[in-house]
Structure 1
Amino acid sequence: MEIIAFLFIGALAGWLAGQLVKGSGFGLVGNIVIGVVGSFVGGFTFQLLGLYAGSFLGSLVTATVGAVILLYVVRLAKS
């Protein structure tokens, strides 16, 4: 059941990041990939800052922040 929640949070975080950074989503699979990778980036970033989010909303915020960072770095690399 945790993997389904992880994928759901990843999809939602990827979609939110797509809305915040680029203005559109990347499809269901793309959103999941961006959100899942973003959750690792966000978790690492939050850990460096000494922050911890244990609830569903906290996990969503962490994954979204990480996905936004990921999209920003990818955008810089493409330029």
Structure 2
Amino acid sequence: MYFLWYLLIGLVAGWIASLIFKGSGSGLLVNLIVGLIGGLLGGWLVSLFGWVPTGTWGTLLSSIIGAVVLLWIVSLFTRHKPVKTV
């Protein structure tokens, strides 16, 4: 049962992070992956500051923080080709 709860929190966190970072969602699967990885990253990051996320809202907040950081890191490594004007 907790596995489904973690998937739901990851999906919501990935969706919110993609709205914050890009302004639009990225699709169900990408949001889920970003949210789940962001949950791990966010839990680790906030623990560095001495905060241990508890409860649903704490877990969701740390997952959103991690997902936004993950999207930011990915954007550093992806290149956008400039559009040539004729």
- What is the CA deviation profile of residues 11-69 of structure 1, one whole-angstrom value per residue up to 9, with x for unaligned ones? 00000000000111111111110000000110110111111111101100000000000
Match for 1:12: what amino acid? Answer: V
Q: Distance in 2 between matches of 1:72 and 1:36?
A: 16
Aligned to 1:58: 58
Aligned to 1:48: 48
Aligned to 1:20: 20
Match for 1:67: what amino acid? Answer: A
Over the matched positions of the two proteins, sequence identity in percent amounts to 38
Deviation at 1:77, TM superposition (A): 1.1
Deviation at 1:6, TM superposition (A): 0.2
- Aligned-residue CA RMSD (Å): 0.7
Higher Cα radius of gyration: 2
Count of aligned pairs between the two proteins = 79
Q: TM-score under structure 1 normalisation?
A: 0.96
Of Structure 1 and Structure 2, the greater helix share is in 1
Q: Distance in 2 between matches of 1:3 and 1:24?
A: 26
Match for 2:33: what amino acid? Answer: V
| Runs of 5+ consecutive residues of structure 2 not aligned to the other structure | 80-86
Q: TM-score under structure 2 normalisation?
A: 0.89
| Runs of 5+ consecutive residues of structure 1 not aligned to the other structure | none
